[in-house]
């Protein structure tokens, strides 16, 4: 069944279903506003530290698990200058419901609701977090809010922060499960009468003060004496468990014999050599010029700390046996075990306020990072990079700080620049590099909360310029354009214009072990009623591990807004569509013309000789393009015939 939906620029007469992506976009855009709402509604008896963590937890788990029906009774945002956002209204309702549930008393004979329990995530160990202190007015308002019931606080906050009218406040409270919304509104009226700030600018100013901002926090230590006692008890218990486990694992005891394996405490010379910093593989600076391979194996060892054996020893030891305090990450399907032999040293040096070591073992790149002031807070990142060629081995992420990223570039890179993908006509800005190939910091789109710009790394070698982008992993992803059989680097004006409307869709493949992303304009379709020409694109993200690819079919209708992202009309995982094995693709969308008429539009790649829609809308067209009149909200099945005579369904 083909799910067809109108363009995002058209407002349907009835509430559209809420997509997970739509809800996520609203949550990310309004995250501080939602967390503040949850913090104000949560019961003050929780204490400020737990209220902060619970508010963040409630907002972070407010996404729907799947596409869910829109709710017409939800009041939409009333911000001046902001368009109505049903996604935000839906997420706000879920946050409000959970915050009210968190204030309900626990009962012996009833299972506690999830919101009534301490949050699983986020967690902060060894610190207490709380908002910054406000003035006397904020303190007085906090005391008065604490005397209200949860629905009463919610009513006051919805009026003060969300600018909802009384009838809309009642609707929102009823949708969130409040037993008596009118009584809650009366409580809010009483507080407003007592403070003299009913719901105007003064009320909003107080509610928006630092006193109630759980995203701008102060930190203090917990009870240090008690923490020390608990740590000693935990260490004693851990030692007892280790001793018992060792006794159980002795040969002939516990789990049974291990055949020809040596006992667990035996020394392994090969493993010990792999952890010896003096045995790490060092490549000379000119090896890549005469090597038959051009990949990470010919990167020279660079950095001002390559001779710091103490640092290298710590990096190798943490790689082999990371402790519980080490923050570890890995791209999907990347082994995280110790090196099988002496790894190659790519880099060891200071990056901002961090000491960084990059190592390579032929399959993985491993990044070890520790603060300059000590080893507390060390991090270990794994990324699979087997089969890399010169284009894929152009750069590695060497550091992330304050939303910025630094890269270590390959020795064959002659020039580095920054290009904003959302500005296809703009010139690239030069990006400085150290003598070791470490770039100046540039904004990381993988960590941005919105999509107002998308800074990509443009690297120029002997072949030409190549575009790379950060998707939250050690190895940046290469961006290409063109058919699957011959993808090419993004160099032309038309290719950059198409990527300008595609870049904001890249978060859909973020942190997925992506090696490259190809965006292919497989069809152009004249729109009915002389509404211009639309582009159909298939965007395919290939992974380092092979399986796990993600495919997005994209519809780019003419738009007056420069760089407006296209609409995702179909998506698939583990699909060969738009790839070398199956280069064909077919997708469709329900579209509304400027004259108010609805159409089912569909387009296939050049392999299609006819396209057919059935079910809710009937029609057939010769060739690879189809346009059939339809009703609003129509659904249809879509398939087509390719040159071989086989029937092929739409992307799903």
Q: What is the pLDDT of residue 529?
A: 95
Q: Are 524 and 452 in contact (CB under 8 A)?
A: no
List the one residue out of 350, 385, 351 whose CA is nearest residue 366: 385
For 98, residues 6+ apart whose C-beta sits below 8 A from its C-beta are 38, 58, 61, 62, 114, 115
What is the Cα–Cα distance from 635 to 652, expressed in whole angstroms? 14
Q: How many CB atoms lie within 10 A of CB 326?
A: 16
Q: What is the pLDDT of residue 106?
A: 67
Q: Are 258 and 251 in contact (CB under 8 A)?
A: yes
What is the Cα–Cα distance from 344 to 187, expressed in whole angstroms? 68
What is the Cα–Cα distance from 367 to 261, expressed in whole angstroms? 32
Residue 180 DSSP SS3: coil
Residue with tokens 């791209």: 331
What is the three-state SS of 262-276?
A: CCCCCCCHHHHHHCC
What is the three-state SS of 380-405?
A: EEEEECCCCCCCCCCEEEEEEECCEE
Phi-psi region of 335 (alpha: psi -120 to 50; beta: other; left: phi over 0): beta
Q: What is the pLDDT of residue 210?
A: 81
Q: What is the pLDDT of residue 3?
A: 43
Q: What is the pLDDT of residue 568?
A: 93
Q: What is the pLDDT of residue 301?
A: 97
Q: Are 18 and 87 in contact (CB under 8 A)?
A: yes
Tokens of 62: 């407010």
Tokens of 262: 């040596």
Q: Are 19 and 83 in contact (CB under 8 A)?
A: no
Helix axes 166-175, 150-160, angle to 10 degrees: 130
Residue with tokens 């004496």: 225
Residue 349 DSSP SS3: strand
What is the Cα–Cα distance from 97 to 42, expressed in whole angstroms? 11
Q: What is the largest CA-CA distance in the chain?
A: 83
Segments of the chain with pLDDT less than 70: 1-17, 65-84, 106-112, 115-116, 130, 134, 192-201, 222-268
Q: What is the pLDDT of residue 611?
A: 97
Exposed, middle or buried: residue 248 (CB in 10 Å: 0-12, 13-18, 19+)? Answer: exposed
For 598, residues 6+ apart whose C-beta sits below 8 A from its C-beta are 6, 590, 591, 592, 629, 630, 631, 632, 634
DSSP assignment, residue 485?
Answer: T
What is the Cα–Cα distance from 21 to 508, expressed in whole angstroms? 9
Cα 364 from chain centre: 22
**pTM higher than 0.85:** no
List the 598-604 sheet strands across, edge first: 586-592, 598-604, 625-630
What is the Cα–Cα distance from 323 to 71, expressed in whole angstroms? 48
Domains of the chain: which residue ranges?
20-219, 272-388
List the one residue out of 627, 608, 625, 609 whose CA is nearest residue 617: 627
For 165, residues 6+ apart whose C-beta sits below 8 A from its C-beta are none
Q: What is the pLDDT of residue 77?
A: 60
- Characterize the bridge pairing of strands 127-131 and 217-221: antiparallel
DSSP assignment, residue 103?
Answer: T
> SS3 breakdown of the chain: % helix, strand, coil, rounded to 5?
30, 25, 45
Helix axes 150-160, 31-41, angle to 10 degrees: 140
Q: What is the pLDDT of residue 14?
A: 42
Residue with tokens 């060891």: 348
What is the Cα–Cα distance from 328 to 575, expressed in whole angstroms? 30
For 546, residues 6+ apart whose C-beta sits below 8 A from its C-beta are none
What is the Cα–Cα distance from 322 to 444, expressed in whole angstroms? 27
pLDDT in tens, 332-388: 999 998 898 899 999 999 999 999 999 999 999 999 999 988 778 899 999 999 999
pLDDT in tens, 160-208: 888 888 889 999 999 888 888 888 888 888 886 665 554 456 777 788 8
Tokens of 102: 């968190």
Sign of the four-CA dihedral 466, 471, 476, 477:
negative
For 215, residues 6+ apart whose C-beta sits below 8 A from its C-beta are 31, 32, 35, 36
Tell me the Cα Rg of the chain: 29
What is the Cα–Cα distance from 586 to 145, expressed in whole angstroms? 56
Tokens of 40: 């104000």
Tokens of 560: 């007056």
Q: Are 401 and 352 in contact (CB under 8 A)?
A: yes
CA atoms within a 13 Å half-sphere pointing along the CA-CB vector of 537: 30
The angle subtended at Cα 632 by Cα 627 and Cα 634, nearest 5°, is 70
Residue 194 DSSP SS3: helix
Is omega for the bond preceding 122 within 30 degrees of 0, making it cis?
Answer: yes
């Amino acid at each position: 069944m083909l799910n067809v939906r109108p363009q995002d620029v058209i407002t349907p007469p009835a509430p559209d279903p809420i997509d997970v992506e739509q809800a996520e976009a609203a949550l990310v855009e309004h995250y501080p506003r939602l967390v503040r709402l949850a913090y104000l509604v949560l019961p003050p008896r929780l204490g400020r530290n737990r209220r902060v963590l619970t508010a963040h937890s409630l907002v972070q788990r407010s996404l729907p698990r799947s596409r869910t029906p829109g709710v017409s009774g939800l009041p939409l945002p009333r911000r001046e200058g902001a368009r109505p956002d049903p996604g935000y209204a839906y997420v706000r309702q879920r946050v409000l419901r959970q915050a009210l549930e968190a204030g309900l008393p626990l009962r012996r004979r009833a299972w506690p609701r999830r919101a009534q329990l301490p949050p699983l995530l986020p967690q902060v160990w060894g610190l207490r977090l709380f908002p910054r202190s406000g003035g006397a007015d904020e303190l007085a308002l906090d005391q008065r809010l604490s005397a209200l019931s949860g629905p009463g606080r919610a009513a006051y906050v919805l009026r003060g922060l969300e600018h909802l009218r009384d009838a809309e406040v009642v609707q929102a409270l009823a949708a969130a499960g409040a037993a008596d919304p009118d009584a809650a509104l009366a409580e809010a009226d009483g507080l407003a009468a007592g403070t003299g700030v009913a719901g105007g600018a003064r009320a909003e100013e107080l509610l928006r003060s630092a006193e109630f901002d759980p995203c701008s926090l102060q930190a203090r230590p917990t009870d240090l004496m008690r923490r020390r006692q608990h740590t000693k008890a935990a260490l004693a218990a851990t030692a007892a468990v280790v001793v018992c486990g060792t006794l159980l694992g002795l040969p002939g005891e516990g789990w049974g014999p291990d055949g020809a394996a040596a006992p667990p405490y035996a020394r392994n010379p090969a493993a010990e050599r792999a952890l010896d910093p003096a045995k790490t593989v060092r490549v000379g600076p000119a090896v890549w010029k005469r090597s038959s391979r051009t990949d990470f194996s010919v990167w020279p060892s660079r950095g001002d700390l390559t001779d710091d054996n103490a640092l290298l020893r710590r990096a190798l030891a943490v790689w082999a046996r990371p402790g519980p305090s080490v923050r570890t990450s890995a791209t999907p399907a990347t082994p995280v075990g110790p090196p099988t032999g002496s790894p190659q040293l790519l880099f060891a040096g200071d990056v901002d306020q961090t000491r960084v070591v990059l190592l390579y073992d032929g399959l993985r790149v491993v990044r070890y990072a520790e603060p300059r002031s000590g080893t507390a807070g060390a991090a270990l990142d794994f990324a699979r990079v087997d089969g890399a060629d010169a284009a894929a081995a152009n750069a590695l992420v060497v550091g992330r700080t304050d939303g910025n990223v630094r890269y270590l570039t390959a020795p064959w890179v002659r020039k580095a620049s920054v290009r904003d993908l959302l500005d296809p006509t703009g010139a690239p800005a030069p990006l400085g590099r150290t003598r070791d190939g470490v770039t100046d910091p540039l904004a990381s789109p993988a960590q941005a909360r919105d999509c107002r710009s998308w800074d990509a790394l443009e690297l120029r070698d002997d072949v030409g310029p190549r575009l790379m982008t950060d998707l939250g992993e050690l190895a940046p992803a290469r961006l290409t354009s063109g058919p699957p059989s011959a993808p090419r680097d993004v160099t032309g004006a038309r290719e950059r214009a198409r990527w300008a409307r595609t870049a904001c869709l890249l978060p859909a493949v973020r942190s997925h072990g992506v090696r490259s992303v190809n965006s292919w304009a497989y069809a152009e379709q004249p729109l009915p009623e002389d509404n211009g020409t639309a582009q159909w694109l298939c965007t395919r993200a290939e992974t380092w591990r092979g399986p796990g690819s993600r495919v997005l079919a994209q519809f780019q209708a003419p738009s007056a807004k420069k760089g407006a992202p296209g609409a995702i009309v179909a998506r698939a995982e583990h699909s060969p569509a738009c790839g070398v094995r199956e280069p064909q693709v077919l997708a469709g969308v329900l579209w509304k013309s400027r004259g108010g008429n609805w159409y089912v539009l569909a387009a296939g790649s050049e392999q299609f000789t006819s396209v057919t829609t059935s079910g809710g809308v009937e029609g057939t067209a010769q060739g690879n393009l189809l346009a059939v009149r339809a009703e609003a909200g129509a659904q249809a099945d879509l398939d087509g015939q390719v040159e071989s005579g086989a029937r092929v369904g739409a992307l799903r």
